């Protein structure tokens, strides 16, 4: 496999992967590039009318409630001007949906506790905050944790 960079005078940057077939290795490269592009930067979040610029990696989870979307960090809770489905597109792959109304940052999860019903509770590193996952998303959550944290 060769890596080649071509400098172009066109306005739009473009990344092209040429291959004989799409293998797991090519898919992993594609995902890594997408994540690198998505994870950069900050989100504009609000408390009242004040704008805050928050690093994406500092966000524990997003929660939809009462027609609004809230972003939770270790230190606070902000209002986001996005819908959950829009956040799934702009956030890195370490953010995954864990219930109909919550998207969590897999990298900052410290524990999962399942109930007999299959639903469960998530706690986060360095924070007292917690949220809940639904049993319908448990398998997706476990697979995503293994994929993101352990490279499986």
Which tens digit of pLDDT belongs to each residue from 16-44? 888 888 888 888 777 777 766 655 678 89
Higher-scoring residue by pLDDT: 36, 130 = 130
Enumerate the β-bridge partners of residue 126: none
Tell the CATH topology of 24-150.
OB fold (Dihydrolipoamide Acetyltransferase, E2P) (2.40.50)
Separation of alpha carbons 61 and 106, rounded Å: 9
Domain map (residue ranges) of the chain: 24-150
In this prediction, residue 66 has a pLDDT band, given cuts at 50, 70 and 90, of very high
Closest alpha carbon to 125 in 97, 94, 86: 94
Say which residues have a Cβ less than 8 Å from residue 34's Cβ, sequence separation at least 6.
93
Using a cut of 0.85, tell me whether the model's pTM lies above it: no
């Amino acid at each position: 496999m060769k890596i080649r960079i071509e400098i172009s005078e066109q306005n739009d940057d473009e990344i092209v992967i040429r291959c004989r077939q799409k293998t797991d290795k090519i898919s992993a490269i594609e995902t890594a590039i997408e994540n690198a592009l998505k994870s950069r930067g900050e989100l504009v979040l609000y408390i009242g009318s004040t704008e805050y610029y928050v690093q994406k990696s500092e966000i524990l989870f997003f929660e939809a409630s009462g027609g609004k979307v809230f972003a939770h960090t270790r230190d606070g809770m902000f209002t986001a001007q996005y819908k959950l489905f829009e956040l799934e597109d702009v956030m890195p792959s370490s953010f995954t949906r864990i219930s109909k109304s919550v998207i969590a940052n897999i990298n900052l999860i410290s524990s999962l506790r399942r109930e007999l019903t299959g639903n469960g509770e998530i706690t986060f590193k360095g924070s007292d905050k917690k949220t809940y996952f639904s049993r319908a998303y448990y398998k997706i959550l476990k697979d995503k944790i293994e994929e993101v944290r352990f490279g499986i």
